[in-house]
Each structure stands twice: as C-alpha cells, then as structure tokens.
Amino acid sequence: MEYPFIDRIVACQQRLEAADAAVVILTPGPNLTYLAGIEESPSERHFLYVVPADGTPQMVAPTMYEAELEEAPIGDFRCWGDGDDPVDILDAVLAEFDITERADDSTILLDDRMWTVFAQDVRRIRPDATYGLASSVVGPLRITKDSVERDALRRAGELADRVSMRLRERGDEIVGMSEAELAAEIDRLLRDEGGIEPSFDSIVAAGANGARPHHHPGEKQIEAGEPVVLDFGAFVPADLEVGSARYPGDQTRTIVFDGEPPAEYEVVHETVREAQQAAVEHAQPGVTAEAVDRVARDIIEQAGYGDAFVHRTGHGVGLEVHEPPYIVDGNETTLETGMVFSVEPGIYLEGEFGVRLEDLVLVTDDGVERLNESPMGWRP
C-alpha cells in the first residue's frame, strides 16, 4: 500500500480496536475509495473489502478485476469466478480473522450503503455477530481532510473560479440564452478548464426561478435585469501515486448580466453577502457547526428575511458533494482543522427572485481558508 492509504488503514484499524469491533466490510462507494483508492460502481457482483482490527485487509472481488487489484493499494485480495460462491470465500476470510460462525462476541461493521443482498449474505454466515455501521469508524476519518484531499479541493475551487470569471466576461451576451443553454455552456467550460465532469447538475435559475434553491434549468430565456443564480462545480482527480479518487468543487454566485435589477434586489444581495462573510469569519476550530449557521441566520432574520432562508447554511464536501459536517441548527459537531464545508446562505422571494452566495472553506488552525476567490458582486 502507498500513502495516503497506509495511514488511513492504520487509523481505521485503531478506531476499530477502540470501538471493540472486529472488522469493517465495505462495498463500492466513497468509503472504499477513501481506504483503498478504488472507484467502482455498485453492481450485483460481490465486491467486498474486509478490514480487520488486526491483520492485513482482504478484498473479495470478481476475477475480471484481478489486473486492477494487482496495482491497487489494498493489502491482499481473493478473486472469484463465475463457478465460485463468493460468500464461501468471504466466510473463509472472516474465519482467518477469527470471526467464526458462532462469533457472538464479535462486532462487524457494514458499509452504510451496502446493498441489502450483500448485508444478508454476511448475516447468514455470521448470524450471532453484533452489527453496526462503517460510518462509526470511517466517518470520523473522512470528516477531516489530509494533504492530498486538501490539495485536490483547492484545485477544484480554483477551477470553479476560472469558470465563474469566464461567465462574467460574457456579460450581456448571456441575455437571450435559455437556462438550459447556459447550463450546458457551464458544463462545457468546467471540462474545458480541466474538470473530469460536473460535480452535480449545474443550476441556472433566472428571475422567479431563482426562488427555488434546486431549480432545474429549463427553456426560460434569461432577460435583462433578471438575477440569475449560478451553482456549479467539477470533479478533479486527486494527486495519487497509486489508486484513484476525485474531489468536487461547489460555488454559487448570483449575477445580473445586463440592465437594472428589481428595486429590492441590491438590499437582498448585500444581506446575503454580509451573512456569508460573517459566517466565514466565525468559523474556526472549537466553534460548533450550528453556531456558524446561527451567525448567518441572525443577519438574515434581522434584515426581515428569516422566513425566506429555507435551507441549512452549508454542508461538508469531500469524496461526496454533500457529506458531514452539516452547517445546520442542531448540529453540535465541533469544527476541527482539516474540515471542508460550504458556506451558502440564501434568500428566496417566491415569484420574484432568489440570491445565494457560496464558497467552500477549509478550517485551519486559526480560522478558515477560502477555496473560492471569484468576485461576489452581482454585476459582471
């Protein structure tokens, strides 16, 4: 195994031991990518990564993956062919880790997104084990980003900034385009600037559509004087010697490409900008996630728009676009150095327009580092 996967596996095993758990079993998804550098889609085939509290991790996978596994930083692996029963192989692997059929004193943690059919297979061969979720040990590792992840997220932020600037340069050329046309153009620019693919379906919401936070771009044409909410980002590859992983960008700006906006717009935009800035400045190690949400929400409420701020202030970003920590009321998670999350307050006036401003931030020892630096202003 190669850095950073050795460090991550060791940390996972230490947490397994501390939790008095015998093993964690992962399937294709972000947890597997984090620990083993393997990006694979779930399928009907048994593709299971078994990480014991003590010993060398073992992968159980179809024979068709043998060449890839030879190069992967996974520990060891056993392949099964079409004539084999992969559950028998998993049974043998668990037995090697002293998790026997009557292991009523063993705790097995299963991937949170493991398909039920695979979870049932594990339970069938180890019916007396105690079961829990992999997130109890992998989650605390993923929530703080190591140097490889931080570098990738910085590059994703810079890419989004470049696209944001290219859109501003278009100015009044945007007027007359449909939301769908502009969304397709954004996706093209994200790839042109080096993105693997968009992090999510790019949001372009013009005029009254901007009052819907997750509006899907349609055929509405962008008009002069209309505020346009633009929310986008792209995945970039992590810089790894072995294995693979990709990390997303996520940025929102609200722009009027030409003409004069509605009378109330400037007040709303400035309120959101102040809320976003105050929340960013409040975030630092030792502060709770809900406290950051409260700072942004207080400013918007004091301006008289509390009922129009209809979502959380932010969400963690890593191997997934949405992951812990969630910057929301009731989340008492204490921020730590290395956490990355969005700060994206918004005001949505039904039937009129919406404003959202979003940056990703990385928690440092004494505050945060903005991962986005493109202009916040509403004019191109």
3-state secondary structure (DSSP) of residue 75:
coil
The continuous run of DSSP H or E covering 12 comes out as helix 5-18
Q: Which residues contact 10 (CB under 8 A, 6 or more apart)?
A: none
Q: Which residue type does 5 have?
A: F
- Burial label for 95, CB within 10 Å (0-12, 13-18, 19+), is middle
Identify the band that residue 67 occupies on the pLDDT scale cut at 50, 70 and 90.
confident
Whole-number mean pLDDT of the chain? 96
The band of 103, judged by pLDDT with boundaries at 50, 70 and 90, is: low
Q: Is 157 left (phi over 0), alpha (psi -120 to 50) or beta?
A: alpha
pLDDT tens digits, residue range 318-374?
Answer: 999 999 999 999 999 999 999 999 999 999 999 999 999 999 999 999 999 999 999
pTM for this structure?
A: 0.95
Residue-wise pLDDT tens digits, 267-302: 999 999 999 999 999 999 999 999 999 999 999 999
pLDDT digits (tens, 9 = 90+) for 146-170: 999 999 999 999 999 999 999 999 9
pLDDT (mean) for 213-240: 97
pLDDT for 102 beyond 90: no
**DSSP letters along 321-376, please?**
SSEEEEESTT--PBP-TT-EEEE--EEEETTTEEEE-BEEEEE-SSSEEES--S--
Q: Give pLDDT tens digits for 171-188.
A: 999 999 999 999 999 999
- 136 and 143 Cβ atoms separated by less than 8 Å: no
The full set of domains in the chain, from first to last, is: 5-142 (3.40.350.10), 147-370 (3.90.230.10)
Residue 216: CB atoms within 10 Å: 13
Question: From the CB of residue 239, how many other CB atoms can be counted at a distance below 10 Å?
Answer: 11
Q: Rounded CA gap, 370 and 273, in Å?
A: 14
